Amino acid sequence: MRLACGTWATINGLRRLVVNLIFLLVLAVVLAALLARSPDPVVDGSALLLRPVGQLVEQVAVADPLALLRRGAHPSQTPLHEVVEALDAAARDGRIRGVVIETDALATAGLAKLQELADAITRFREAAPGKPVLAWGSRFTQAQYFLASQADEVYMAPDGFVLAHGFASYPTYFKGLFDKLDIRINVFRVGVHKSAVEPFTRESMSAPHREATARLLDGLWGQWLGGAAARRQISADEFGDLIAHYPQRLAAAGGDAAQLALKSGLVDGLLTPDQWQELQVARFGRLDDGKAARRTVLGAYLSGTRAQRPPAGERIAVVAVQGAIVDGESPVGVAAGETVAGMLARVRDDDAYKAVVLRIDSPGGSVFASERIRREVDLIRQAGKPVVASMSSVAASGGYWVALAADEIWAGTSTLTGSIGIFGMFPDLSGLLARGGLSVDGVGTSPIAGGLDPRRPLSEPMSSALKSSIEHGYRRFVGLVASAREMDAAAVEQVAQGQVWSGAQALEHGLVDHLGGLDAALASAAARAGLDAYRVEWVEPELDARERILERLLHALGLEGPDRSQAAGLAGLVTRIVGELGSLVQWNDPGHMYAHCECVPP
């Protein structure tokens, strides 16, 4: 036994040594690269290169360093606020002569985020007349084209296509699978339109959910068409008609999707990658090496401009509530109640922070965790610091719950919000166990002892208790909305019942105060705090120093490339189904109560 233990300790020690050596080697390489860089990484007379990679997010989730190495150090997420920050700075920067957008590496982005990015490009254009904005893609997905369409000139590869097809919602329904496995999902919900439980209890979309979803998607699709067509020489109606009759139009063009896009006015020209490079050289010149076009990448530009800022004084904190809201602690990626509450508590206790913007991009989740976050927001206000909630692509159900403690709420026109409702779910695996020849038996000290054991059918007393808790939770949610929004409870009921609204609709119903992006929310927070000059600081969870150092250094180097994390084809289908079913694992509310919206932002 001593020999075995000693051998294992040796192996474990060697493993840790190898991991640390790899980390130190990577750190040395990155530091050497940083030290070798010019003190001023901004190329004078260059174009700012915007090449968003992977998913457009509010805050980047820090991956394990070895995972970063396995992916070739290519991040799979791009923070929206950094792209906007760079655009706003470049408009005033005499060294920047224009903006170049390349969209191939962008995987996904919610419409609300794309609209905020479009607004930033518009501000750049208005503040810097004469500085062109050029865009190119080998082909365009729907999100990629919306971004590219904001440029003055849009180019595409001669064998490319514009794949704009509209918005759709087609959830996977698991009831048939659960029936075959003898798994029963006990559901308790309040709200006719609270559809988050439907994939686990039905085989198809319910009529109320179908009607509400169709209404919502039609409105959002109208916004997409209007935004994408705004700078092109076509109307939104013409664009919509092209997409609606795309198969016929493509056949008439002999199957040449690129020529169809060109003749329809979706792009200004067809350029191969080398021709695209030559166009940039003609507009911005070459680098000193005489080869590549004069461009400055996003990471290098931000590093250079931030280094020139004066020392931090009074600050506005931005705290992100991103992803599903779960109980406990977790790094960036999900909105863990204790983690977010801890960040808010740090802001409350730090006198350097004069105001807070709560940036929400979450469909909700645990009621317990949502209330934990909402209470911390309330404590910040009680401490005399103004709090402004800023909704990104989605701030629904629990995401709306946490916003209720803010002094005011801002939403994008296409933000998905509302979904005021509560549900509870508890699995009964007794049938599945029986199929495997397993049985459960025993005794308890009360009728509800062992009542939340998924190996046993849910007892009537426990079912009654859960039902009462869910109904109480819903009344409390409605009461919070009524109090925070100064509405009559009956009026809240008219817009509650789990209904999902766009930001524009939410403003009409009194659920939010203003329409606007993060920049507008920051300006409002500064006005409430009486600040003329301030620094915006994104507050992050306290993470492992090794992860933080490596992530920061890689980002500062601007190491960007194709996002290899996106599965395609059959692999993508399997990943999606597993992901939808895996959401059950994230739901860890101690009271089994959830304010979650089954709404994926388009």
CB 423 within 8 A of CB 470: yes
Which residues lie closer than 8 Å to 151 by C-beta, 6 or more apart? Answer: 99, 101, 121, 133, 134, 135, 231
Long-range contacts of the stretch 247-250 (C-beta < 8 A, 24+):
none
Residue type, 233: Q
Annotated active-site residue 397? The verdict is yes
Nearest alpha-carbon partner for 93 in 67, 127, 138: 127
Which residues lie closer than 8 Å to 462 by C-beta, 6 or more apart? Answer: 448, 451, 452
Burial of 600 (C-beta count, 10 Å sphere; 0-12/13-18/19+): middle
The maximal CA–CA distance of the chain, rounded, in angstroms, is 83
Nearest alpha-carbon partner for 328 in 358, 361, 373: 373
* CA dihedral angle for residue 247, residue 253, residue 258, residue 262, rounded to 10 degrees: -110
User: Strands across the sheet with 77-79, in order?
Assistant: 77-79, 54-57, 106-108
Q: Whose structure tokens read 């001669």?
A: 158
β-pair partners for 535: 315
Rounded distance between C-alpha atoms, residue 207 and residue 19, angstroms: 54
How many degrees, rounded to 5, is the angle at CA 86 between CA 84 and CA 88?
A: 70
Rounded distance between C-alpha atoms, residue 528 and residue 319, angstroms: 17
Rounded distance between C-alpha atoms, residue 427 and residue 455, angstroms: 9
Rounded distance between C-alpha atoms, residue 420 and residue 51, angstroms: 37
Which strand (E) or helix (H) includes residue 356?
A: strand 353-362
Cα 46 to chain centroid, rounded: 31
Residue type, 4: A
Phi and psi torsions of 277, nearest 5°: -65, -40
Rounded distance between C-alpha atoms, residue 276 and residue 488, angstroms: 59
Rounded distance between C-alpha atoms, residue 551 and residue 532, angstroms: 32
Catalytic residue among 113, 194, 354, 385: 194
Annotated active-site residue 419? The verdict is no
Which strand (E) or helix (H) includes residue 392?
A: strand 387-396
Rounded distance between C-alpha atoms, residue 421 and residue 158, angstroms: 49
Beta-carbon count within 10 A of 95 CB: 16
Question: What tokens were used for 52?
Answer: 């968003």
Residue type, 222: G
Rounded distance between C-alpha atoms, residue 88 and residue 574, angstroms: 40
Catalytic residue among 366, 397, 430, 524: 397
Residue 311 has what DSSP assignment? P
Active site residues: 194, 397
